[in-house]
Structure 1
Amino acid sequence: MGYQLSAVVADADLLREQAAELDHAVLGELRQDFALLPVTPQLVVELTGSLPDFALDDRTDEHPFGLVLSPTLVEVLAGWSQQGPVAYLEAEFVGGTGYQSAAVWLGGASSWGPRFDNVLDAPRDQWPINAALIRLGVERGTWIDPFAELGLHLERNTDGWLAHGRRQLSADYWDELVEEWENR
């Protein structure tokens, strides 16, 4: 089973405000008052007025994302970051191989990244998604790293996050199910 992520992550209130008027925005609730906005082709069209462009080549340091971040999309994310840090996160894994990439905007400008890694042999805090989440203000908790702390492992792909958001599930929903199951 693979894992795929293409999402904007930020403070839940910030994303709720920015997404309030968008027809194709579905927010997934994460822990620590963060939220995830799955980036779909429909959302890109709504935000930019143009069809999304996708990289045909493998990810590299020079081209870290599968979704080509157009100047218009970057402008939107930078604008949102006037209210607080905003990250674009991307990951794809199948059969133990894959990559993760991330970038962060703050105060209307790029503040970190983009970073790409397809080896993940550095300490976990230096992996692109974890490093971006730390810059967003994710606090240490009982989970193994910021990725798990927020609950980004709970859904396997964009469709899962869309269903998560439409059902208005919290990241703690799955923990509650496990606890209920164990108590039976």
Structure 2
Amino acid sequence: MSYQLSAVVADAELFREQTAELDHAILGELRQDFALLPITPQLVLELTGSLPDFATDERSAEHPFGLVLSPTLIELLARWSQSGPVAYLEAEFGGGVGYQSAAVWLGGALSWGPRFDDELDTPREQWPINSALTRLGVEPGTWIDPFAELGLHLERNTDGWLAHGRRRLSADYWDELVEQWEQDR
């Protein structure tokens, strides 16, 4: 089963304030009062005035993201981070092969990253997305790591997150379905 993620994660209220007037901003509710903003070409165009550019080379520490973070997009993330930490997350996996990358902005500037990993052979808390989420303030819980704690495993790609947001589902919704299913068995 494949997995693809290209999104910004931040406090849900920060996103509500910053994206209220945007036509293409669809927020996916996560746990712990965080939200995910799926990055689509339409959203990048609305935010920056330009179509997104995508890297053609292989992901690496020197080129951690598939989406080329334009100066306008970086400036926007930095501006949003004046209200609280903001992370850009990217992951792509298929057949056990893939990568994840992340960067965090805080106080109007890049504060961590970008970090890239395509081996994921270190402890889970050191993986780029988990490290970024910890910097956002994700608290440990019953799930295996910050990624699962927020519910980032619930959808497999951008289209899934867009549907999740349009239906106004929360990560808790899926937990409630599992509980109901277990009770009905």
Smaller-chain TM-score bracket? over 0.9
Letter in 2 for 1:2: S
Deviations 1:115-144 (CA, angstroms, capped at 9, x unpaired): 000000111111000000000000000000
Letter in 2 for 1:104: V
* 1: CA distance, partners of 2:10 / 2:61: 24
Letter in 1 for 2:9: V
Unaligned runs of 5+ in 2: none
* 1: CA distance, partners of 2:26 / 2:90: 17
* 2: CA distance, partners of 1:66 / 1:37: 17
Deviation for aligned residue 1:175? 1.0
Query: Which residue of 2 is the match for residue 131 of structure 1?
Result: 131
* 1: CA distance, partners of 2:179 / 2:13: 28
Query: Which residue of 2 is the match for residue 142 of structure 1?
Result: 142
Letter in 1 for 2:98: G
Query: Which residue of 1 is the match for residue 26 of structure 2?
Result: 26
Query: Which residue of 2 is the match for residue 178 of structure 1?
Result: 178
> How many residues are treated as equivalent by the alignment?
184
* 2: CA distance, partners of 1:23 / 1:137: 28
Instruction: Trace 1:23-102 onto structure 2 (pairs within 5 A).
Output: 23-102=23-102
* 2: CA distance, partners of 1:136 / 1:123: 19
Deviations 1:93-123 (CA, angstroms, capped at 9, x unpaired): 0001000000000000000000000000111
Query: Which residue of 2 is the match for residue 165 of structure 1?
Result: 165
| TM-score with structure 2 setting the length | 0.99
Deviation for aligned residue 1:40? 0.3
* 1: CA distance, partners of 2:46 / 2:14: 18
* 2: CA distance, partners of 1:15 / 1:129: 19
* 1: CA distance, partners of 2:86 / 2:174: 25
RMSD: 0.4
Deviation for aligned residue 1:70? 0.4
Query: Aligned residues: percent identity?
Result: 84
Deviations 1:24-60 (CA, angstroms, capped at 9, x unpaired): 0000000000000000000000000001000111100
Deviations 1:45-88 (CA, angstroms, capped at 9, x unpaired): 00000010001111000100000000000000000000000000
Runs of 4+ in 1 over 3 A off after TM superposition: none
Matched, 1:12 2:12: yes
Letter in 1 for 2:81: S
Deviation for aligned residue 1:183? 1.0
